[in-house]
Amino acid sequence: MSAQWDDLRIFLSVARAESLSGAGRALKLDPATVGRRVQRLEEELAQPLFTKSPQGYELTEAGARLLPHAEAAEAAAKAAADEMRGKGGGLSGTIRIGAPDGCANFLLPQVCAAIMDAHPGLDIQVVALPRVANLSKREADMAIAVSPPASGRLTVQKITDYHLHLAASRRYLRQNPKITSIADLQSHRIVGYIQDMIADPELDYLAEIGNPRVSFASNSVMVQFNYLVRALGVGVVHDFAMRFGPGLRRVLPDQVALSRAFWLIRPEDDRKSDRLNRFAEALVAGMRAEIARAEGDS
């Protein structure tokens, strides 16, 4: 096969975006140009790589066979760029992280600021999602998740454990009946996730305390947090987030104490990239230190 890397780069972008327009936006090319380049590659390989459906552009059998080779070429191109930048020097360019919104709001600002202070040429993008970022479609270079994936060509590293407790604002606790047991929660407004939008079973915190009726629900941790700060009810809060709500107080800490873990997920081929390896090391070390510090202060 004599396909050039630039052709494979366009093929990869269409495969990930599942549309010419989406690939064009990612590549900063006109969709018509993207279409012509795909057609040229198909003619060179003498095989169709995509079929168009109502859902968008889908890989044919030939396209699916080409995909891992294109991904390997992408990894090799990134590794070559890292080598040209020079190992051991400052990190530069742009790295995108996918993360749950609790992590994205309460941990990553401090962690990323420290990394960027050490590497002024580095730009960091954080994509806050209620689900794990799709790495095969390159929504992010790496992702933080609350449970390890069961499949895929991925590498997975446990970052650290973290803890959560029930919490409410002092004002809410003053104005409502005293809470001395889990049974008392039935007469209180509960803040939590929209049940059918919980993206990971690890986020179904209220199942561990009998699934009380949720009065104020959101798929966003930040929205739930703001409900609690504004004295609208009782809900589960990350220990590392407590310092951002100075009016919040733990509720039933001896009866309700949850533990979860963060995991770093990366495409397997990216382990060849010295730049991404070094960033991942800094990210993991920074998150471990920040969680330990924040939970110690809570």
pLDDT above 90 for 6 = no
Alpha helix segments (H runs only) across the chain: 5-17, 20-27, 31-45, 61-85, 101-106, 108-118, 170-175, 221-229, 274-297
* pLDDT higher than threshold 70 for residue 200: yes
Q: What is the pLDDT of residues 204-228, one digit of tens each?
A: 999 999 988 999 999 999 999 999 9
Mean pLDDT of 125-133: 87
Fold held by 5-85: Arc Repressor Mutant, subunit A (1.10.10)
Percent of the chain with pLDDT over 90: 66
Q: What is the pLDDT of residue 1?
A: 45
**The pLDDT of residue 75 is above 80:** no
Q: How many alpha carbons fall within 13 Å on the CB side of residue 291?
A: 20
The pTM of the full predicted model, rounded to 2 decimals, is: 0.74
Domain boundaries, the chain: 5-85, 93-160+261-297, 162-258
* Mean pLDDT, rounded, for 5-28: 89
Question: Comparing 83-97, 140-154, 280-294, which segment has the lowest mean pLDDT?
Answer: 83-97
pLDDT above 70 for 89: no
For residues 132 and 98, the answer to whether their CB atoms sit within 8 Å is: yes
CATH topology of domain 162-258: D-Maltodextrin-Binding Protein; domain 2 (3.40.190)
CATH number, span 93-160+261-297: 3.40.190.10
